[in-house]
Structures are given as structure tokens and as C-alpha cells.
Amino acid sequence: MSDYLGYKGKRVVVTGVFSGMGEATARILTELGAEVHGFDYKDSNLSLASFTKVDLRDPASIEAGVAGLGNGRIDGLFNCAGLPQSFPALDVMKVNFLGTRHLTETILPLMGEGSAIASIASTGGLGWSRRIPTNMEFITTKGFQAGLDWCEANPETIDSGYAFSKENVIVWTQFLGAHLIKKGIRINCTLPSPTQTPMMAEFHAASGKDVVDAAAEPMGRYSTPEEQAGGLVLLNSALASIINGVVLPVDGGFMGGVATGQVDLSKMMKRAAPTA
């Protein structure tokens, strides 16, 4: 069979490989013949080319992890690690955006024309369109510490934690896409529907099961980690060579249902609810 997705022999990095979408993504990439290097705060049981314990809250840990990869080219980066809103807002911001951005910026010198980046955002971050100036001010801070300083100076803005962190993944993806494509590097992100991962219990506790269930319409069920991994693998594949700066719903039709009035948002409107 032809290698249509183009992963055979490619060198990729996946964060969040301990469980959930990151674990599923790393497993699929391995099956496709990629050389997969995994990062996570918790140990992985997958058979990977390498695994490094990395704490995305700590820029030194990120830099050490990337240094351990050596100087070989990285063809794909999959930013799958994340924290739910049950963690302190500052930790959520560090992992979901600041650490993800710092890791990406640290790996970029190892990437070249034809390489690609895919990150997991969330429909919980759809508020980005209502406060682009704030998002742009934050995402254009220079470096991990400057971003952290901004967060500490704007506690009321980051108080939502999860939602704001995912807003910035979305805006950053669109902003950076216009710059990286000039170097032949693509970046995209996904908007997952509610997915049955180990974090789901925390989403239920924080937002209410009825609210999360409402975001699973019109499909009427939660997606699997493998289904979400499929979207990420596709975005970084050779088949998606011109797809760049895209915020891709991987949601069983939720966004389309909202746009055409097929999904009842009344339950979700009662409180801001992340869904991935």
C-alpha cells in the first residue's frame, strides 16, 4: 500500500503521550511507520523511539527535553498535552499555552520546509473572536517569562483558565500560520467534541454532565481518542500540504449544527463550558 499520509520514516514529537488523544496519536503514528518521540509529565507505556519526562510548566524542562532529541530534523510536532479547568488557572495557562508555545519555538529550529505542527484547542475557546485585541497582546509576548508576567498582571483575564488558554491556541495558530508558511512550515489546530479520555470526569465535575453532553450533539455520543487523533494525523500529513492556519472542528457536526440552528445551545449558555 502506498504511504499516502507520508509518515514512513518521518521523525515526529508528540506531547501528552501518557493517555488520551496524545497516546492515541503516538500509537497511530508508530503504526504508520513514523519515528515517534514522546514527551509527558507521566511515564508512557508505549513503544516509542524515545520518551522524555517533560513538565510544560517549566521552560528549563522543555529545553532539556528538546536538547535530548539531538540535532536531527523534526518533521512533525503534535501538541496534545493539556490540563482541565480543575487545576489552578496559572498552571492551566502554563501547560495549555505558554509551555506549548515555548516547546514549539524551541523545536522550530529543527524543522524545515515540509514539516508541520498540529495542536489541540477546544470549542471551549470559541470566545476568541470577541476579544482578539487581548488575545493578540498576550500571544505576541516574547518568551515564557514574558507571557507568565502578562498572566500575573492580568489575573481577572486568565481566571477562566481553560477557556482563555484554548482561545490563545486558536489565535496563535492563525497568527503563526501566516509567518511559518513563508518557511514552508505549516501549523493548524483542532476543536474536539467531548472525548472519552481520563479527563472527562473532571469536565463533568466542573461544567456539569448536561452541559458537556449538549456539546456532543448532533452526533449524540462522545468521540474516542482515536477519532480525535485521526484529525491531528491528517493535518500534519503529506495529504494536507496546503492546509495552514486552520482551526479544524473534529466534532461530529457540532459547529455545523450550531451554524444552522440544529443544536440547542441553551444548556451550554448557562455557563462557559470547555468540551475537550
pLDDT tens string 181-224: 999 999 999 999 877 766 666 666 556 677 777 677 888 888 89
Residues with a catalytic annotation lie at 162
How high does pLDDT run on average in the chain? 91
Tens digits of residue pLDDT in 1-10: 478 999 999 9
Label residue 80 exposed, middle or buried (CB < 10 Å: 0-12, 13-18, 19+): buried
Percent of the chain scored above 70 by pLDDT?
A: 91
Identify the residue whose cell numbers are 505576541: 140
What distance in Å separates the CA atoms of residue 43 and residue 31, rounded to the nearest whole number? 20
Q: Where are the domains of the chain?
A: 11-269
Half-sphere CA count of 54, side-chain side, radius 13 A: 33
How does strand 35-40 pair with strand 11-15? parallel
Domain over 11-269 is classified CATH 2.60.40.10: no
Length of the chain as a residue count: 276
pTM of the model: 0.92
